[in-house]
Amino acid sequence: MSSPSSAPSAPLSDSLQAILYTPSSSKPASLKILNQLLLPHQTVYIPITSAADAFTAIKSMAVRGAPAIAIVAALSLAVEAEGEMARLASKTSDSTSIPTEAVDVAASINGKLRYLLGSRPTAVNLAEAVGKLARVVDGAVERGADGDGVRKAYVEAAERMLVLDVQDNTAIGERGAEWIRAGHEKRRKLRVLTHCNTGSLATAGYGTALGIVRSLYGKGLLEHACYTETRPYNQGSRLTGYELLHDGIPCTLITDSMAAALMQKLHSEGDSLAAVIVGADRVALNGDTANKIGTYALAVLARFHGVKFVVAAPRTTIDLATPSGKEIVIEERPPDEMLSVKGPQVLTGSGTAIDIKNITSISTAALGTQCWNPAFDVTPAELIDAIVTEVGVAEKNDQGKFDLQHLFSISEVK
Ligand code: MRU
């Protein structure tokens, strides 16, 4: 695989942190998110001070990726709660409108959690976080906490989600790398293909599927990572490429439509991908997996070419209440995300310099084009070889079925 060449180069950021949170212990708590609509060309952090800010950031995809969406939603309310406590303590003029009774505080937080749930429908992590945080709030009321006690319980639980996500991703990376390596004892170094962005930018850090790529690389087991452009929103070329290049991981971009040719070419050379590794937005009880549009096509291709198909996701992405993929609601995005590309102007003919200040949208379709723009598709469990979580790797049993319930009987990351 040759190295990527002649792509316009922009200065890389020192940081791939999608979520910058200053915890409540160092007052005041604050939250900023890296505006992913401007990556890879500009590194701009947006302050998030309220649930309304978080809703807008999630819906516009300034922050995206199943785990990151849930954490930003949760922390936005932590910042709001901290601000309310500070205003009540200093009795500022606007503090009279802030609820003080525990039941009223709980009702206010729960109402905002329900509002945030409406921002994007497919990734279950947000719904899972909302359910968990509502239980924390209601539990604090039942235990007799006062208004600030309810707020403190909420803030503690939201902050814990941030810490746990990085831990979980590191464990997923470790387990996934080990599972893939075990299937390729004879090969020293492995080639893999990934889709969409599942890295540091889509999570609190490190990443899920991209965490496995990072882990393989860290262990000296990775020869090369190919990644798809991920049309129509280009999370692959814009974000995954940014992360892989940042980390110095050997990598090559392909368009989504080149995946079949890549597998065929490697096969004709007596070689093969070790695995296609993808993330997930919602894994149903039976293992059917909703993920970025194009995932299903890759799973079909992988099966045809005898390549392992691996889904990497924390348990918060597994939705035991959804029996199968048929019940998963697939978000449809606005047509303009499909009918145009956004980026800075290329300043020189050689394609080596770009004007990062001049980011514009360019139409790529005939005027009046109608389009269908589902953001996700569902890959049937039948086509999935392994579901890698922080506590273990699920494989199908002799009847060809996943037992995902079992993963929830494992109490902690070992
Ligand atoms: O529409 P997006 O960019 O939020 O979609 C993201 C994906 O589909 C990711 O692959 C998935 O959320 C897993 S992120 C660790």
Q: Is the CB of residue 147 below 6 angstroms from any atom belonging to ligand 1?
A: no
User: ∠ CA(284), CA(287), CA(290), 5° rounding?
Assistant: 60
Q: pLDDT, tens digit, for every residue of 327-352?
A: 999 999 999 999 998 888 776 666 66
Stretch 378-396: mean pLDDT, rounded?
A: 98
| Core vs surface per residue 51-79: b (16+ CB within 10 A) or e | bebbbebbeebbbbbbbbbbbbbbbbbbb
Protein residue whose Cα sits closest to atom 15 of ligand 1: 198
Q: How far is the CA of 83 from the centre of ligand 1 (A)?
A: 31
> What span, in angstroms and rounded, lies between the C-alpha atoms of 305 and 102?
59
Q: How far is the CA of 69 from the centre of ligand 1 (A)?
A: 9
The residues with which 47 forms a beta bridge, in sequence order, are: 32
Q: pLDDT, tens digit, for every residue of 72-120?
A: 999 999 999 999 999 999 888 778 889 999 999 999 999 999 999 999 9
Residue 410 has a pLDDT of 87
Residue 102: which of 71, 75, 138 has the closest Cα? 138
Question: For residue 247, what are the CA distances in angstroms to 128, 214, 375, 410?
Answer: 31, 8, 28, 33
Amino acid at 51: A
Cβ atoms of 68 and 204 closer than 8 Å: yes
Q: Kindly give the number of the ligand 1 atom that is closest to the alpha carbon of 199.
A: 15
Residue 3 has a pLDDT of 38
Q: Kindly give the number of the ligand 1 atom that is closest to the alpha carbon of 291.
A: 8
Residue 318: which of 207, 403, 203 has the closest Cα? 403
Q: How far is the CA of 282 from the centre of ligand 1 (A)?
A: 10
Residue 174: which of 124, 130, 218, 111 has the closest Cα? 218
pTM, whole model, 2 decimals? Answer: 0.93
Q: pLDDT, tens digit, for every residue of 234-252?
A: 999 999 999 999 999 999 9
ipTM of this complex prediction, to 2 decimal places? 0.97
Protein residue whose Cα sits closest to atom 5 of ligand 1: 65
Per-residue pLDDT at 304 exceeds 60: yes
Residue 184 has a pLDDT of 83
- Look at residue 223 and give its three-state secondary structure: strand
Phi, psi (deg, nearest 5) at residue 378: -115, 125
Burial of residue 370, with CB atoms counted within 10 A of its CB: 0-12 exposed, 13-18 middle, 19 or more buried: exposed
